[in-house]
Amino acid sequence: MKINNFGTSGVNPYKRQMNKLDNIAKTTANATDKIEISTTAKEMQQVSQYAVNRQTKVDELKIQVENGNYKINPNEVAKSILNFYKR
């Protein structure tokens, strides 16, 4: 009596799975991503006039603080705090 191999016992199922994963990796390795930035976003990246004006104001205040000439008005600070929490 002769007994033959029955089914797929001669094929390693783990090897087949690894081959599938390798094929998927090869196909995705060739794909490339592309990013396009709109003109509006490019304009937003540019330094605006507001940023320049703000930096000059910050520099002026910094000099005043260093010289000791900067005085804080406590009434204005209190009004600002109240307005912030009322909103």
Assigned domain for 80 exists = yes
Residue 69's domain comprises: 42-86
Position 19 scores a pLDDT of 80
Write down the pTM of the prediction: 0.36
* Residue 73 CA neighbour count, 13 Å, CB half: 4
Position 1 scores a pLDDT of 62
Tokens of 4: 């033959």
Alpha carbon separation from 87 to 54, 75, 78 (Å, rounded): 25, 19, 15
How many structural domains compose the chain?
1
Give the pLDDT confidence of 60-75 residue by residue, as tens digits. 999 999 999 998 899 9
Assigned domain for 69 exists = yes
- 49 or 10: which carries more pLDDT confidence? 49
Alpha carbon separation from 52 to 48, 56, 57, 66 (Å, rounded): 7, 6, 9, 21
